[in-house]
Amino acid sequence: MRITDILRTEHTVFVAAFDQIEQMLPQLQTLAEVKLIGRLLEPLLHQHGEKEENLAYSALIHILTEKQPFERLHLDHQEKSDLLAQLAVAPDITEARHLLRTAIVMLRVHFLYEDQVAFPLMEKALQKESLETLGNA
């Protein structure tokens, strides 16, 4: 399976999880509950981001003359990490909900950009065999 197919599948799973989180977020009663959602998401998103940066982006960035799309994606990963770190130390439930919602919105935009711009660019620039090798790594 191509790395881009694997990452798109993970995006689909994350978006479904985000839908559920957004539905339940107003019913959460305590700061600890909201922070727990962030703690559950953080390692999953970190692993996904590592896969993108270490396999997908690094394979393509060496052959591109225009690096801006991938610099943006790296900055998005850093912003996601920063938001989840702020959530972990949020002083109250209102701030925690806001940070979690902000992270989810940012991640939805990030995934959409990857799916519509970055991954098609990768599929155009790299051979199918290379994409499959990355998918098996």
- Can you give the pTM of this predicted structure? 0.90
- What pLDDT was estimated at residue 68? 67
Long-range contacts at 32-38 (CB < 8 A, ≥ 24 apart): 34/87, 34/90, 34/93, 34/96, 34/97, 34/100, 35/87, 35/88, 35/90, 35/96, 37/100, 38/84, 38/87, 38/88, 38/96, 38/99, 38/100, 38/103
Cα separation, 40 vs 47, in Å, equals: 12
Write out pLDDT tens, residues 101-130.
999 999 999 999 999 988 998 899 889 999
Output the CA–CA distances (angstroms, integers) from residue 64 to 9, 26, 121, in the order listed. 25, 44, 10
Provide the CA 104 distance to its chain's centre, in angstroms: 9
Query: Residue 67 pLDDT > 70, yes or no?
Result: no
* Confidence grade of residue 85 (pLDDT, cut at 50, 70, 90): very high
Structure tokens at 62: 């060496």
- What pLDDT was estimated at residue 28? 97
Burial class (CB in 10 A: 0-12, 13-18, 19+), 50: exposed
* Confidence grade of residue 136 (pLDDT, cut at 50, 70, 90): very high
Output the CA–CA distances (angstroms, integers) from residue 112 to 47, 107, 123, 137, in the order listed. 18, 8, 16, 24
The whole-chain average pLDDT of the chain stands at 92
- What pLDDT was estimated at residue 102? 98
Cα separation, 114 vs 75, in Å, equals: 13
Write out pLDDT tens, residues 86-108.
999 999 999 999 999 999 999 99
Cβ distance 27 to 34 under 8 Å?
Answer: no
* Confidence grade of residue 59 (pLDDT, cut at 50, 70, 90): confident
